[in-house]
Structures are given as structure tokens and as C-alpha cells.
Structure 1
Amino acid sequence: MRRLHLDEDRAFPAETMARDAARRIYAATRHLPLVCPHTHVDAGLLADDLPFPDPARLFVTPDHYVTRMIHSAGVRLEELGIDGLGDQGNARAEADARRIWRTFCEHWHLFRGTPSRFWLTHQLVEVFGVATVPSAESADALFDELVDRLRKPAFSPRALFERFGIHQLATTDSPLSSLSGHARLRAAGWGGRVVPTFRPDSLLHVAHPHWIAETDELAALTGMDTGDYAGFVSALAHRRHVFRAAGALATDHGHASADTTSLSPAEAARIYTAARAGRATPAQAAAFAGHMLFEMARMSCEDGLVMQLHPGVLRNHHRGILRQYGHDRGFDIPTRIEFTRALRPLLEAFGHTPSFRMIVFTVDETTYSRELAPLAGAYPALTLGAPWWFLDSPQGLRRYREAVTETAGFYNTAGFVDDTRAFTSIPARHDLARRIDAGYLATLVSEHHLDLEEAMDTAIDLAYRLPLTHYGRRPANAPALVDSTPVSTASRVTGKR
């Protein structure tokens, strides 16, 4: 059977001089702690600290990067252990973990050239000590080998958290969450190491199918009347306070567009009332969503939570898949997005407010050099998020640095985020980002734009200092800067006011 291995120079430049410099730059970041300010890991995973059940339910079923690729080859989602919803008539999901794992191994070749291949190989080799390439022939032996590993205390979620060197990990949570997993972690002495993130999307979109029920639940949770717009806004602010008290550093918003046009209080209240009665039009729903992004920015100025925005995705492209299997099955597809005009209302209002920080992500990489880098290079409050989703690949990470650095520099970017549900892939994703940044910086060294010491220092900033700084808790209620206000001495890391 073929051996599975990781080359020490993987993802480095092919040119000899740049590759040699990349090795030295990467060595400065290789063992730095991991800062994970945006993940979809469930806090309950770490609070419970139960062993992972088997390789299929660790590597395959919960990872839509994996399942979407295998499904694209004609494999039914049921064969990958994914259950259907309700009475949709679909076949029963495969329950035999060994058979699911065999299906995955038989399709290993599909991942050639993809970031998933990089992440999966890193996990198998570095985390679990596997030395055999997955295949139809090796599947059963690999399954048994991994089951044996997963039974050992050294492979429990908390033990791996420590081994990975995670400094801090942020989950993503509904405003309606009890945050019980976080409470249990705090009680276990993990306070501040795993923190929640406030993700209010379903409450800000009045066309969401469960919006009325969720606003009622918000009322029950807060004791505030959400029957009118003013009560709704107050209840959201209350929940933000609860999240902040639980350690939250940020909010997260995944809207269809980046529109931040503010409505008058009367117009917002009118749309809210119409939505509660089930009469809001699609245009009203879109306008209300944009208005609520503006309101979330206003609240961030007040409570200091960093605001993350990642618009421009058509969720659940295949509605039949949504009906049969639910959300997050790999059918969220990027769309063209516009930022310059859409963000103008928000940035004119809050772009010079020291208590406000907005980190913007996109899967429309055409906007990096045309819109986002110029915006981040001008507004003190705006920072560029890492390339992610379909762009957290070797070439996507390179294109990002090439597109934004000359306009926004390095210090108007927020560092890497792994954005994953696949807990054991976290170190693999950070390792790839550090290698790509080392290679990009090495090219600048070989072309005499930077010296090696500068490049190494920058690599450390990108890998560790920048995410800590940009996702650090903001001071609340700081006044906005005006043209006559002197620029304060900025920290070396942020380059921001």
C-alpha cells in the first residue's frame, strides 16, 4: 500500500532562493499558538469532552467540504451518513460507520489538488500518525487503526485542544442559545479560552421561515416585549450584553448583500409590524436587513463587540436538498457582491469611531483589489478578513496577498480564521496559511522589497499578533474621530488609530 506523507516544503515557492527564505520565515511561526477567532466548533464538544465516536463521524459526515465533493461524483448523501428531514421519502441514512468510511476512502482521489486534501492529509499524518494512503484496499485497516487512536485519552477533544496549542477559540452561536456549553467550560476553568460569538442572522431577516417564532422566543428569553420594533431592538441589545458577559468578542453576520442603509425609526417600525403580521414584501425584508446591519454597527460602538460581515452567498442553492437534508450540505454558492456603495452609510457614520471595528470577508475575490483593499486602506475602523470558504486554498491565499497588500498593506488585515466545524482540521488550516504567507513574504525578500528580519516579524504578526489585536475587546462608547482630531500613536501591530 502507498505511504501517506507530508513534504516539509509543501506549499512553498518552487524557486530555490524564495523557497530557502520561506523555510526560515515559516520556522518563526510554525510553533506559535493558534488564535481561532471564527469557528463553527460546538462548545459542547469541549464541555462534554467525550471521545470521538469513529473515523466516519469525525472526518466525513459532519464536514460538508468532504460530503459535497463525494456527492458531486454521484454518491447519495445517505451513503455518507446524512439523515433526511421529516417525511421526504428519501432512503434511510447509512448507519454503519465502517461502510461510510469505505465510501470516503474509495473516493480519496477526488480531493487531489483541493485544500481538503491538504487538511485531511495533515490530520491523518500529524494528528493521528497514519502512514497509509486511504483507498478501497486500505479502508478497513485504516478504520481499525483510527478507532484504536480515538479510544485513547490523548485524543479526547480537550487533550487535542492542548496539543494543538490553541490560545483561544471562538464558537458561533444563535442569540437564542443558552450558552450552556460555555458555562460548563467556565466552571471547568476554561473561561476565556473558548468564547461565544453573537450570530443574529435569522432574527434580522424578517423573511426567515421561523422569524416570528424566534422573535417570540427572544421575548421569552429576555422578558422583553418583542411585539414592536423598539422592544425587539432592546431585546437584541440585552442578548449582546449576555454574550459579552460570557466572554464574546465579536458578532457575525452572513447577509445576502452588504447593504447598510439606515431607515428612519418610523419606517423600521412599520416594516417590523408588517413582518409580524406576515405582510412584509421582499423589498421591505431586504431594506430591514440592511437597516439592522447599521443598527448592529451602532450597538458595536456601544458595547465594543467586533463586527464581522461576510455577505454574498446564495444559501441552499438546491431547494430539494434543503427540504430533504437541511442546511449546510455544501450547496451555499458564492454570488457577485458590491461593497463600496453598500458600506458607505455605515462607514460614514462609524468608520472613524475608535470603539468600532468591522472585519469584512468575501467569497467574491474580484472585490479585494477593486473595493475592499482601498476601503480598508482608508477607514480606521475597517479591516480585511482572511480569504475563506472557497478561497482558503493555497492559490486563493496567495491571490489574496497579491490583491490586497499593495493597497491595504499587511496591517489592515485581521490574520487567519479557520471557519470550520472540523475540529481536528484546525491546525492543518493554520499551517497552510502560515506556509503561504511565508512563501509570499519570501518572494518579497528575494525581490528586495523586504529584508529577512522584516519578513519574519511580519509573519509572526500575521499568524499571531494581528488576530489577537483586531479581535481584542474594543473600548465601549469612544467618541468618533473628526478631521481636526490628532491621530494617536498607533500600536505597531494594528497600524490603526
Structure 2
Amino acid sequence: MTAPNEIGAALPGAARAIYDGITDLPIVSPHGHCDPSWWAENAPFPNPAALLIQPDHYVFRMLYSQGVPLADLGIGPGGEDRDPRAVFRLFTQHWDAFLGTPSRQWMEFTLRRTLAVKTPLTPGSADALYDEIAAKLTEPAFQPRALFDRFGIEVLATTDAATDPLNHHASIAASGWPGRVIPTFRPDDLLNPQRPNHPGAIARLAEMTGRDVARFPDFLEALRLRRSAFIAAGATATDHDVPDLGTRWLDRDEVEELHAKALAGTLSRDETKAYYGHMLVEMAQMSVEDGLVMQIHAGSRRNTNAPLLASHGPDMGADIPGAIDWVDGMAALLNRVGNDPRLRVILFTLDESTYARELAPMVGHWPCLRLGPPWWFHDSLNGIRRYFDRVVETAGYRNLAGFNDDTRAFLSIPARHDTWRRALALHLADQVDRGVLARADADRLAPALARDLALDAYRLTGG
């Protein structure tokens, strides 16, 4: 594994100097999927498999590709009683499959730098490594709040269903612990009738708000009430998974008819797209009103393994990048509210081909837009460098949203930010070498891209 001082040392001279200037900056994690109960309860993490393997879809999708059943990893039906030590052994037996992937770099960083283990990761060391990690997890220094503080996390946002009661966030706030963990409003189950949880989410919304959500005006008011509850809990952003981007603005009679059909479960596919496209514009208008930053994640073809979806449900590693038309897809939203200086929308894509062709020109024009960092399959050393090469000449740096780790695997957060900072240092050093930037400009941009732009893009500076 990489020794602690080898990560920066592997960079060439100018890049190493830039990296050294940002490596110890606080971590801003404005978008991710960590469980707020970790900091509400501050209980020790259960075991190495539950911490490092089972919540990390980067890890278990690679193992699945090598023929490892998810049940053998303790995931889904048949995996409920799987011995976590056996899960960890399976992982180490397939360690070679991760060569060349960012997952391997993150895991090595996590083991050596974060957990400070001495045992090397090899198939033959599985039990010894498991025992060493398990022993660490019993120590107070490796409990969730202590790790949060040691990682230097300035703020961390979770992603929470719009109908989440936010009890864990309330517990954190009442505990007196100063760590800043805030929710993010995610209304997908309420806005997209294709989602299987749509009927239950609608019923919970009505119960929580006391509104007759069968009436479209009351439905909008119920959404405003939930947004207000999130803001009161510290939220600064919303998040929207958009599998098929096509914003619309419909007249009131048409959208009320579609809303009634959505609640009845009788929308056609085209009607569903029109309804959801309209609701995204409604969300943008609400963001103009209440200031929540709107995140749109598009370009993922979800759950492409139909038998796995049927047996295990969604989010089992079978989501694949797909093509997106951003210009037409965002047209209705942008032409209705995109010139309003109160709106902030951060765009994320899995379709790298759109960076230079559409997204960089769009964020280089529309005042409401910021471009999010490489997402999911592309948040690697090479993916980040491709991103900078394709967007900066048109978008500049100040229209970028900095970095977020977008992870469920808490212990990988420092590793992911380190990858961004290394790639950033390489990019800026290359810009200096080619005469695009003066060294003083690179030194000013480095902390902005490592920390400051994320605080600004997500309106986090007031917390």
C-alpha cells in the first residue's frame, strides 16, 4: 500500500508544491449519502465489512462483476446472516480486480492513512487485517464524531427524502456537539410517479403537512412546508435524480389533470415525463423564493439489471451512464427563471461528451448555473483531469462548484478529496507550464477549487 508520505511525493515539483498548499484545508462535503444516525448516536461502527464493503457500491459492483453473489457479501435476500469476516475474506480474494480503479486508491488511503493499520491487504492477510480494523473500531478515536473532527470536515450534507422527519438531525443539533451535519431535500419520490415509492410518499406528505395533496395547489403548499422544515434544520440545497431530462411548463388545467392521474397511477410514459418536467420548474421557482440551491443529477440509466432489481431492489450497482440533451432538456426551466439572480442550479452529468459541447457553454452564460464536479464513474484521477480540460476554456473556474464526494462510505471521504486535490494540483501545474496561468493565479485558484467554491456554490457560508 501507499505509505503516508508517498501520495504527494508522487507528484512532480510544481504540482507537489500546489498540492502541499491545499492538502490540509478543511473538507467541505456538500453532497453525499452518509447516514445521519452515525453522528446522532455516535455508536461504534459495527465491523469492517459493514463499514468498508457493504455500503460502497463502487466496491460491491466490482465484486459482483467477478461472479460474487451479493448475498455472499451480506447484501439483500439471503445475506442477512452472512459472517462479516467471510465477506471481508471474499473482498481480499478479489483485490487484484481493483487494480487501476479509484476504489483501490481510496481503499489504500483509508486503510493506511485513516485507519492507520499496519497489516498489508492481501488475500492471505484477510483475518489479520479484519482483526486489526475491528480493534480500531472499538476505540473512541474511531467513533463517528471523533472521525468527523479528525478528518477536518467543515460541513457535511446528507441526502434525505422530502418526507424524512429529520429526527437524527434534530438529535445532532440538540447534542451540543459542534460538528455541522445538515440535511438535503430530495423530493424524487413525490415528484416522479415512475418511482415505486411514489404512492407511499404522497400519503406521508399529506399526513405530515395536513394538506389535501389531491388538490394541486395544496400539493405545492405541502412541498413548501417540507422545504421550510429542511431549511429550519440547516439545509441549503435540494437534490433531484433526473433519469430523462426534459423540463416543461404546462398550463394549470393540464398540470392539474396530470397530477390527478399521477395520484391514480394512470399516467402514460410521455405524461409522466411531462408531469415530472413541469415539477422540476416548480422546484426551481420555489428555489427562487426560499434560496435552496437546486442540484440536478442526470445521465444515469438506473437499474439496468432487471432480475437483480426484482430480487434486490434499486441501487445495486447496475446503473450505467447514458446520453443527455442538456440544452433542450433545461430550456423550459432556464427560460422561465434562469435569469433570476436568486436562483442557483448545480448540474451533474454522467455523459462526459456534453462537457465541452453543452455544459461548459451553458454555465458560461446562464447566471443561475454552476457545473458540478465529475460524478460517479468519473470522479477518478483521469476523470477529473478530463473534466478540467473540457470545461475550463469555456466556463472558466468561477462557474464551477468545487468538489463533493457523493459517497455512502464515510471513511472514504478524505481519500476522495485527496484524489480531487492531487488531480487539481496536476491540472494547475500543467496550466502554469503551458503559460495559460501565472503561478500566483494557480496558487489562488487551488484553495478556491479545493474548498471555497463549494461553500459559495451551496450557500454554506452563513452556517
TM over 0.5: yes
Of 315, 318, 328, the residue aligned with 1:328 is 315
**Equivalent in the alignment of 1:121:** 108
The aligned counterpart of 2:267 is 280
In 1, Cα distance between the equivalents of 2:178 and 2:278? 34
Match of 1:312 among 290, 299, 315: 299
Q: Deviations over 1:279-303 (max 9, x none)?
A: 2111111100100010100000000
C-alpha contact 1:215 1:232 (8 A) present in aligned 2: no
> Which position in structure 1 is the counterpart of 2:63?
70
Secondary structure, counterpart of 1:168 in structure 2: strand
Residues 53-83 of structure 1: CA distance to partner in whole angstroms, max 9, x if unpaired? 1111111111111111011000111111112
CA distance in 2, matches of 1:256, 1:397: 23
1:46–1:432 distance in 2 versus 1, CA, 3 Å: same
Query: 3-state DSSP class of the match of 2:82?
Result: coil
Partner of 2:41: 48
User: What is the deviation of 1:138?
Assistant: 0.5
Quick check: 1:368 aligned with 2:368? no
SS in 1 for 2:226: helix
2:285 corresponds to which letter in structure 1?
A: R
Aligned position for 2:181: 194
1:386 corresponding residue in structure 2: 373
Instruction: Count matched residues.
Output: 462
Deviations 1:327-378 (A, max 9, x none): 2111111111110111122112222211110000000000000000000001
Shift in Å at residue 5 of structure 1? 3.1
Match of 2:22 in 1: 29
1:8 to 6, 14, 38: 6
**Cα deviation, residue 195, structure 1:** 0.6
Distance 1:317 1:296 in 2: 28
Check the 8 A contact 1:306/1:473 in 2, yes or no: no
Amino acid at match of 2:384: L
- The residue type equivalent to 1:139 in the other structure is A
Which one-letter code corresponds to 1:176 in the other structure? T
Do structure 1's residue 61 and structure 2's residue 54 form an aligned pair?
Answer: yes
Counterpart AA for 1:50: A
Among 390, 394, 414, the alignment partner of 1:427 is: 414
* Structure 1: distance between partners of 2:152 and 2:79: 40
Greater mean deviation of Cα atoms: 349-358 or 460-469 = 349-358
Residue 37 of structure 1: how far off its partner (Å): 0.3
Counterpart of 1:254 in 2: which secondary structure?
strand
- Aligned AA (2:280): L
Work out the CA distance in 1 between the residues paired with 2:427 and 2:461. 31
1:81-96 matches, within 5 Å, as 81-84=74-77, 91-93=78-80, 95-96=82-83
Give 1:93 shift: 4.3
Tell me by how many angstroms 1:386 deviates.
Answer: 0.5
Alignment partners' CA distance in 2, 1:227 and 1:433: 46
Q: Does residue 353 of structure 1 match 2:346? A: no
1:304 Cα shift?
0.2
Cα deviation, residue 218, structure 1 = 0.4
User: Secondary structure, in 3 states, of the residue corresponding to 1:340?
Assistant: helix
1:445 to 2:432 alignment: yes
Superposition pairs of residues 293-312 of structure 1, within 5 angstroms: 293-312=280-299
User: More deviation in 277-286 or 393-402?
Assistant: 277-286
CA distance in 2, matches of 1:393, 1:10: 16
Task: Go from structure 1 to structure 2 and tell me whether the alpha carbon gap of 1:260 and 1:333 turns closer, same or farther (over 3 Å shift).
Answer: same
* Contact kept in structure 1, 2:187 and 2:239, CA below 8 Å: yes
Cα deviation per residue 1:1-50 (whole Å; 9 max; x = unaligned)?
Answer: xx65356356966xxxxx21101111111100000000100111111111
Shift, 1:130, TM fit: 2.0
Give the partner amino acid of 1:8: E
Question: d(CA) in 2 for partners of 1:191 and 1:271?
Answer: 45
The verdict on how the C-alpha distance between 1:285 and 1:11 changes in structure 2, with shifts beyond 3 A counting, is farther
Partner of 1:16: none
- Whole-Å Cα distance in 2 between the matches of residues 190 and 383 of structure 1? 32
Give SS of 1:341's match.
helix
Larger helix fraction of residues: 2
Write the distance in 1 (CA, Å) between the matches of 2:238 and 2:197. 21
Distance 1:258 1:46 in 2: 35
1:136-195 deviation per Cα after TM superposition (whole angstroms, max 9, x unaligned):
211111011111111100000000000000000000000110100100010013477111
Query: Which of these residues, 136, 140, 144, is aligned with residue 149 of structure 1?
Result: 136
Q: 2:387 aligned with 1:400, yes or no?
A: yes
| SS in structure 2 of the partner of residue 28 of structure 1 | helix
TM-score, normalization by structure 2: 0.97
C-alpha deviations, 1:103-122, integer Å up to 9, x for none? Answer: 01111111100010111000
TM-superposed CA distance for 1:132, in Å, is 3.4
For the 8 Å contact 1:4–1:130, the answer to whether it is kept is no
Does 1:135 find its partner at 2:133?
no
1:34 maps to a residue whose letter is: I
> Quick one: percent identity of the two aligned structures?
47
Q: Please point out which of 211, 231, 241 is paired with 1:254.
A: 241
The answer for the alignment partner of 2:276 in structure 1 is: 289
Distance 1:263 1:190, change over 3 A: farther
**C-alpha distance in structure 2 between counterparts of 1:265 and 1:388, whole Å:** 36
Q: Is the 8 A contact 1:250 1:307 kept in 2?
A: yes
C-alpha displacement of 1:230: 1.5
1:230–1:120 CA distance, 2 compared to 1 (3 A): same
The answer on whether the counterparts of 1:258 and 1:337 sit within 8 Å (CA) in structure 2 is yes
Q: Please say which of residues 125-134 and 38-47 is displaced more in the overlay.
A: 125-134
